[in-house]
Chain A
């Protein structure tokens, strides 16, 4: 069954009086547990598409259905709530709240979800264990390496129990070893947690591991292939 359905989505911006097409007539369908990558050169529309799927931006036309909810029907408050429960985010860098420890960062989204303290604590510890950070739970981001910080972000994204995790160039700032380890973790969790992962990336390592690669060019889908 389809988890995410993108139907005829277009997005354009106005730069002065010039209309810039960021995305044109995008149609995509994602199932549960997919591990997919959006690739393409800079300016091809990868991040714009991720922002639209994540409810951070609204399409100029078309519909986005996630878990049977049409995102284009939701107002700002509802979108905020939708993101909280349905979507996990992993950004390229500066993903964590610097004044919170790794454990507190993972708990934060669950706090916003109003989960009971014991449950969120237990889940946070569990996911930090899954990403291999059992002994660093009380460290603040400044005391963690870039790779470790991204792992915390993965734990935070998954601990909230989303259906979809959107990762915008998650390995861009990581060395080879850390990038590989992070991708292993995400791939494993995508299967175990039945969560769909959608990356925007330039990273060949991500592309190698992705099970589906969607190539964007000039705001349009150039190819959509199983890997």
Chain B
């Protein structure tokens, strides 16, 4: 007797599996609908969550110090006004030569005491170039009184409404800005309120003072920096394309002439935000695992039921000479086809929901008033769904593999059918 080792034509199994799938049309449709709804729910929640995270990161980067920040290497661990970049001008010139696609924004950030005759408050003084710093586009719209500073305003300050209230100042009022120097002395300069903003973010409204670079630089000079070298506390880099962070960071590290200056990305600058996103992602993943488990059991139930009711048929096929492994193959192809349909239906439902929410958004104004902050950044009240290509691949793979894996147990069970027993049923 010759034993054939040539594999059987796959097309026969695919055809047989496809027809088997539609043997109980209603059951298959119910299974697909349940998968599609579960998947749609997962796509919807992930899309909103990713969008929320992306917006938070985007706002945090815009409000913070860009995608990449160059600052004195110990500043992050132990911020102090004497930790500055002495060669600000030189470093900025060198970075300009690298032709990075993005904006190089010089900044001076200092911890200061803002004092008036009425009160004193510990605040953050942010010295910026008032014309091109992204803070302008972000906060200018919230200036409720006075106006935005310009380079010529050597003493002009923009403060938040919360601080104005605390210091009991108005437009034109004087504020003494005082810093403690490294040696123990203090340095003070007089500023004048030129604008008052109200962003809704407590951290900004109560604790931020914006000035021109020239005003803030006086404090660095008092620390020993040379005025002509245009010292800075950091250079914030706002990239045109956020995907280039790692390559630009590598380039900067390679071309950084100052060992005392470190190159940090936003994740290193804002570890709390990263931590929040990770924790939020974990909770979402746990929910998704539950959704997938429901899908998994639904499919196992469907496939298992369809196998149990075909016991005699499988016995017949085995009696006719179908090998065990081909029976396993047949069931796996059935599950594979179910998986493909599940992915298609899942994307049809999930994709439609995503498209709608990505296009029109969901207005949470009643729950999130405009200007609400979260983890120190703005939270947009209208949330749009966002799904990256990575997420699409991830979700597709998960639903596909979940469905496929759910066919393994029924396939093994089918392969164990003994023809003689099965034919008695």
A residues whose Cβ falls under 8 Å from a Cβ of B? 51, 54, 56-57, 69, 76-78, 80-86, 89, 91, 94-95, 97-100, 108-109, 111-114, 117
Instruction: Report the bound CA distance from A114 to B312 in whole Å.
Output: 24
Q: Are B420 and A81 in contact (CB under 8 A)?
A: no
Q: Is there a chain A Cβ closer than 8 Å to B322's Cβ? A: yes
Instruction: Report the bound CA distance from A120 to B1 in whole Å.
Output: 20
Q: Are A81 and B321 in contact (CB under 8 A)?
A: yes
Q: Are B321 and A83 in contact (CB under 8 A)?
A: yes
B233 to chain A, nearest CB (A): 74
Q: Are B320 and A83 in contact (CB under 8 A)?
A: yes
Residue from the list B3, B317, B318 in contact with A81, Cβ < 8 A: B3
Interfacial chain A residues near B316, Cβ < 8 Å:
91, 94-95, 97
Instruction: Report the bound CA distance from A84 to B319 in whole Å.
Output: 8
Interfacial chain B residues near A117, Cβ < 8 Å:
9
Q: Are A111 and B321 in contact (CB under 8 A)?
A: no
Q: Are A114 and B23 in contact (CB under 8 A)?
A: no
Q: Are B6 and A84 in contact (CB under 8 A)?
A: no
A23 to chain B, nearest CB (A): 14
Q: Is there a chain A Cβ closer than 8 Å to B366's Cβ? A: no
- Ranked 6 nearest A-B pairs via Cβ: A84-B321, A99-B19, A56-B420, A83-B321, A111-B12, A114-B6
Q: Are A80 and B318 in contact (CB under 8 A)?
A: yes
Known A-B contacts A98-B313, A112-B8, A114-B8; the reply to A82 vs B319 at CB < 8 A is no
B residues whose Cβ falls under 8 Å from a Cβ of A? 1-4, 6, 8-9, 12, 16, 19-20, 23, 312-313, 316-324, 326, 419-420, 423
Q: Are A109 and B321 in contact (CB under 8 A)?
A: yes
Interfacial chain A residues near B321, Cβ < 8 Å:
80-81, 83-85, 109, 112-113
CB-nearest residue of chain A relative to B317? A97
Task: Give 5 CB contacts A-B under 8 Å.
Answer: A76-B324, A85-B321, A99-B20, A111-B12, A112-B326
Interfacial chain A residues near B326, Cβ < 8 Å:
112
Q: Are B313 and A80 in contact (CB under 8 A)?
A: no
B26 to chain A, nearest CB (A): 16
Residue from the list B16, B312, B320, B322 in contact with A94, Cβ < 8 A: B312
Q: Are B312 and A78 in contact (CB under 8 A)?
A: no
Q: Are A97 and B8 in contact (CB under 8 A)?
A: no
Q: Are B319 and A81 in contact (CB under 8 A)?
A: no
Q: Are A80 and B322 in contact (CB under 8 A)?
A: yes
B419 to chain A, nearest CB (A): 5
Q: Are B23 and A112 in contact (CB under 8 A)?
A: no
Instruction: Report the bound CA distance from A83 to B420 in whole Å.
Output: 13
Q: Are B3 and A78 in contact (CB under 8 A)?
A: yes
Instruction: Report the bound CA distance from A114 to B4 in whole Å.
Output: 8
Q: Are B1 and A69 in contact (CB under 8 A)?
A: yes
Q: Are B1 and A81 in contact (CB under 8 A)?
A: yes
Instruction: Report the bound CA distance from A83 to B419 in whole Å.
Output: 12
Instruction: Report the bound CA distance from A78 to B419 in whole Å.
Output: 15
Q: Are A56 and B8 in contact (CB under 8 A)?
A: no
B249 to chain A, nearest CB (A): 59
Instruction: Report the bound CA distance from A196 to B164 in whole Å.
Output: 107
> Which of B8, B20, B321, B326 has the most chain A CB within a 10 Å cutoff?
B321
B327 to chain A, nearest CB (A): 10
Excluding A80-B323, A113-B321, 13 further A-B contacts by CB distance (< 8 Å) are A56-B419, A57-B420, A78-B3, A80-B321, A82-B1, A83-B320, A84-B320, A85-B1, A94-B313, A109-B321, A111-B8, A111-B9, A117-B9
Instruction: Report the bound CA distance from A81 to B325 in whole Å.
Output: 13
Interfacial chain A residues near B20, Cβ < 8 Å:
99
A78 to chain B, nearest CB (A): 7
> Which of B9, B313, B320 has the most chain A CB within a 10 Å cutoff?
B320
Q: Are A99 and B16 in contact (CB under 8 A)?
A: yes
Q: Are A112 and B320 in contact (CB under 8 A)?
A: yes
